[in-house]
Amino acid sequence: MKTVAFHNLGCKVNDYEMDIMQQKFTENDFLVVPFDQKADVYVINTCTVTNIADRKSRQMLHRAKKENPDSVVIAVGCYVQTSPEAAAKDECIDIAIGNNRKADIIEILNRYYEEKEHKSCFDIIDINKTDVYESMFLEKTAERTRAYIKIQDGCNQFCSYCLIPFARGRSRSRDMEDILKEIDGLSKAGYKEFVLTGIHVSSYGVSGTADFKDNRLADLLEAINRLPGVLRIRLSSLEPRVMTEGFVKRISALEKLCPHFHLSLQSGCDETLKRMNRHYTAEEYRKGVELLRKYFDDPAITTDVIAGFPGETEADFETCYEFVKSIGFYETHIFKYSRRKGTVADRLPDQLTDAEKTKRSHRLIELTKENSKAFRESYLGKTRPVLFEERAEVCGKEYLVGHTPEYIRVCVDTSEALENEIREVSLSKLLDDENVLGFV
């Protein structure tokens, strides 16, 4: 029996696609082994969101070939899609598979084996000239309680700092019936929670330029909510402009939808948002948050912020800082701006020093800790349903760990076997200022 090892880099879409590829290999009688062991085939699902991601992708490819020089090393995804010339020169890569071709990985591998001289095999389409959504169907995942469901691919937004539209192509949506069939099958297999993911989830069902006035995302959520085996629905990152009153009012009626919304911000300063080509203002963003808080009872709102974008003055940063402070996010993922060759932002004047970017990111990180603690403290004394996932060591002690619908992490001191079960838990105190500790 041949062996295969996997390593995944990047986003939740990559996670989903990695699960699909692993499923393909097991269906074809491959034994999956850890990546640090010797294998016949290594599959590295690459990322290109930053220069660091490119470098990590190359490092893992070289590590695989070093582990077993006789192995077949397969590089798939965004790095080879955007850098085919570099991939072609890399002697560690035997097979390169771009996006929209991952579902055919076994056929491509077999084609490589059929070549008597085992010449390098490259299967990379022009991703910018396709409107086809790649058909994939997941039957099980590496997780036992939560399943990520890909509903959309590609992006039409062209933010000035981002290469993803060139790696993933234009926005393409998955057929609703196919999504419902996949979720129904996974729920019958025991999965309780489903996270809808994509490159630009807000564009689901929207053709061309997204105005979000009549998109089909709410239709999809309502249909999933009707599936009897589904207990929780969660959304991944959303576009602020999707938060119209009509949309928020509709989804607030769905009892299975978790009140946890990742609403991408990037900056709270309008001048910076313009340079980022983000298509909304800070005030429009605030109105979206207000709508969520109008229709949901104390929802968890999380976001991303880039510190030190080109041209960001000290005054711009202070405006952003005060905006983030005023919103009171549950969590804020802070990123120092990283120059990405090939993007508009890379060519912008007034690039900041790494020292200044670090200084600003540290201030935002400290603010994030304060906001996050305040949000969790607001739930102390409340009783919330917790989906338990695993046992884990926290602060030197083993707990049963799970999450509330708001994605507050809960650690329970119990010997009961409650993995993949939902139980009401009284949230009694903060544990080490990072986790809520409750008792069943």
Q: What pLDDT is stored for residue 63 in this prediction?
A: 97
Q: What pLDDT is stored for residue 211 in this prediction?
A: 46
- In angstroms, how far is the first alpha carbon of the chain from the final one? 46
At 210, list the tokens.
């997204």
Burial call 139-156: b when 16+ CB within 10 Å, e when fewer: ebbebebbbbbbbbbbbe
Q: What pLDDT is stored for residue 118 in this prediction?
A: 65
Q: What pLDDT is stored for residue 11 in this prediction?
A: 93
Q: What pLDDT is stored for residue 215 in this prediction?
A: 63
Average pLDDT of the chain is 94
* Site of tokens 């009509």: 246
pLDDT tens-place string over residues 181-229: 999 999 999 999 999 999 999 999 986 544 445 569 999 999 999 999 9
Q: Which residues of the chain have pLDDT under 50?
A: 209-212
Q: What pLDDT is stored for residue 419 in this prediction?
A: 95
CB 113 within 8 A of CB 161: no
- Alpha carbon 366 to its chain centroid, in Å, reads 24
Q: What pLDDT is stored for residue 210 in this prediction?
A: 45
Q: What pLDDT is stored for residue 440 in this prediction?
A: 63
3-state secondary structure string across 3-55: EEEEEECCCHHHHHHHHHHHHHHHHCCCEECCCCCCCCEEEEEECCCCHHHHH
| Overall pTM > 0.85 | yes
Report the C-alpha gap between 327 and 320 in whole angstroms: 11
- Alpha carbon 211 to its chain centroid, in Å, reads 23
Q: What pLDDT is stored for residue 209 in this prediction?
A: 47
Sorted by where each starts, the structural domains of the chain and their CATH numbers stand as 3-125 (3.40.50.12160), 146-377 (3.80.30.20), 383-439 (2.40.50)
CA atoms within 13 A on the CB side of 172: 17
Strands 422-431 and 435-439: antiparallel
